[in-house]
């Protein structure tokens, strides 16, 4: 999803702007502090390996899955990815040069017999979309996808989603509630004519304009990731992630240091699935037996992380620290993300009580919205072209 790539690029710029205040003090965004707080739930920063499911034994994956099983994410490690990092057990190793982490795949206290390798995206792959990268690197077995990106790139780099660990997309628009006390929704921002500062190249703004929620003259696609304009002007709205920016603006960006209000894009009807686990469709036959096993394991890991975030967050925080790059992600930020994801339903069951499955009607709605907005949607594309629930265990949920 191009919009997400640009958003995550902004966090590199934002990280640079925060380094001066975050380093050398007790700020929440200081990578040097707080690791022990996260690790304390499981005893250390990477040696627990118990996802907390309580299962005594699990079958080995060695006969059905490649080892290492390689999963390509869309950014540096963060708690939105925790369903994966939660499955990396004792003795994991971090490759700071290639921005990856690998170790034994562990669930329910059992070693599953294969290595799991989670690779970072964004700068680590030259900001290439994950789908495009996977079509140049056959060693990647699964990668992150998003509904709108899969639709618009289907003709060139088709991807088939097999699992959606996040029920809702974390992207949101935020504003100052003190300046706009009567604004509660993105539609209210449109009615008030508030300038909405976003990255160029996304899809949601064009959809909202086509639907009449926003007007084109109030959408400013000049956002560069810096908090400077939002802080200095005070009366604009801005793009962000609900699991990140509210914490940063209230606790880390000293020039703001107060709450923001927001609404998810999802709650305005743009209900994409973000950060799904997807495969190249041509790999489906070869990966079929493996997917039958690992998809339910990742479903359960999502539930386990929600109940006990210590291990997953510890692996994330420790990995980011070992990367020693511009990306900063400390314990406080991980803890906020976990709590906020649960609070607003980013991690949750679908409407049928199952975690990780996808609703074809919801995806068809996005296809229809993109077509109505005049975007280049392949003729005849349907939800079944970009997703399948055949590997989902319907019994696993919150």
* 121-133 pLDDT tens trace: 999 999 999 999 9
128-141 average pLDDT score: 98
Task: Yes or no: say if 191 and 206 are a contact pair by the CB < 8 Å rule.
Answer: no
CB 230 within 8 A of CB 198: no
CB proximity list for 337: less than 8 A, separation 6 or greater: 78, 79, 80, 243, 244, 247
- Of 262, 283, 247, 4, the C-alpha closest to 144 is 4
171-268 is classed CATH 3.20.20.70: no
Q: How far apart are CA 71 and CA 120, in angstroms?
A: 9
What is the 8-class DSSP label of residue 141? -
Which pLDDT score is estimated for 54?
37
Please give the residue that has the higher pLDDT: either 60 or 152: 152
Dihedral (Cα; 247, 193, 199, 149), 10-degree rounding: 100
Q: Which of 348, 364, 372, 376 is nearest to 170 (CA)?
A: 348
The pLDDT of residue 14 is 52
What is the CATH number assigned to the segment(s) 38-166+273-385?
3.40.190.10
Contact 208, 198 (CB under 8 A): no
High-pLDDT (> 70) share of the chain, %? 85
Residue 373 — φ and ψ, nearest 5°?
-80, 0
Q: How are beta strands 237-241 and 171-175 bridged, if at all?
A: antiparallel
Tell which residue, 148, 143, 188, has the closest CA to residue 171.
Answer: 148
Neighbours of 9 (CB within 10 A): 17
So what's the pLDDT on residue 41? 36
Asked whether the beta carbons of 92 and 112 are under 8 A apart, the reply is no
Mean pLDDT of the chain: 88
Q: What pLDDT does residue 147 have?
A: 98
Q: What pLDDT, in 10s, does the model give residues 8-64?
A: 444 544 544 443 333 333 333 322 223 333 333 333 333 334 444 334 345 689 999
Among 45-54, 87-96, 210-219, which is the least confidently predicted range? Answer: 45-54
Contact 208, 373 (CB under 8 A): no
Classify the C-alpha dihedral 321-326-327-333 as positive or negative. Answer: positive
pTM recorded for the entire structure: 0.86
Buried b (16+ CB within 10 A) or exposed e, 267-292: bbebbbbbbbbbbbeebeeebeebbe
Percent of the chain predicted with pLDDT > 90? 83
- Measuring CA to CA, how many Å separate 136 from each of 128, 282, 385? 11, 14, 21
| Domain map (residue ranges) of the chain | 38-166+273-385, 171-268
CA dihedral for 26, 29, 32, 38, sign (positive or negative):
positive
195: its two tokens: 């300038």
């Amino acid at each position: 999803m191009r919009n997400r790539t640009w958003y995550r690029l902004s966090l590199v710029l934002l990280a640079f702007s925060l380094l001066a205040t975050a380093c050398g003090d007790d700020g929440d965004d200081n990578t040097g502090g707080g690791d022990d707080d996260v690790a304390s739930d499981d005893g250390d920063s990477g040696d627990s390996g118990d996802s907390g499911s309580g299962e005594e034994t699990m079958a080995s994956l060695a006969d059905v899955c490649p080892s290492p099983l390689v999963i390509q994410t869309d950014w540096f490690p963060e708690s939105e990815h925790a369903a994966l990092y939660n499955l990396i057990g004792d003795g994991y190793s971090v490759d700071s040069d290639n921005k990856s982490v690998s170790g034994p795949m562990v669930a329910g206290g059992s070693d599953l017999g294969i290595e799991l390798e989670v690779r970072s995206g964004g700068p680590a792959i030259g900001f290439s979309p994950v789908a495009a990268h996977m079509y140049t690197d056959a060693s990647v077995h699964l990668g992150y996808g998003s509904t709108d990106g899969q639709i618009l790139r289907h003709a060139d780099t088709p991807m088939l989603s097999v699992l959606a660990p996040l029920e809702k997309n974390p992207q949101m628009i935020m504003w100052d509630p003190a300046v706009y006390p009567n604004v509660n929704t993105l539609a209210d921002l449109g009615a008030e004519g508030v300038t909405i500062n976003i990255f160029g190249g996304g899809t949601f703004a064009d959809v909202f304009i086509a639907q009449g929620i926003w007007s084109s003259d109030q959408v400013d696609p000049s956002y560069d990731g810096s908090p400077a304009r939002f802080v200095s002007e005070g009366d604009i709205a801005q793009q962000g992630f609900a699991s990140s920016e509210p914490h940063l603006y209230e606790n880390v960006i000293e020039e703001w240091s107060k709450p923001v209000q927001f609404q998810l894009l999802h709650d305005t009807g743009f209900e994409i699935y973000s950060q799904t686990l997807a495969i190249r469709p041509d790999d489906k036959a070869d990966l079929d037996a493996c997917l039958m096993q690992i998809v339910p394991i990742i479903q359960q890991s999502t539930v386990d992380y929600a109940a006990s975030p210590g291990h997953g967050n510890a692996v994330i925080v420790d990995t980011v620290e070992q990367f020693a790059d511009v990306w900063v992600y400390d314990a406080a930020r991980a803890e906020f993300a976990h709590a906020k994801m649960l609070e607003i339903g980013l991690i949750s069951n679908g409407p049928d009580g199952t975690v990780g499955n996808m609703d074809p009607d919801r995806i068809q709605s996005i296809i229809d919205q993109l077509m109505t907005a005049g975007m280049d949607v392949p003729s005849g594309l349907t939800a079944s072209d970009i997703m399948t629930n055949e590997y989902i265990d319907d019994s696993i949920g919150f």
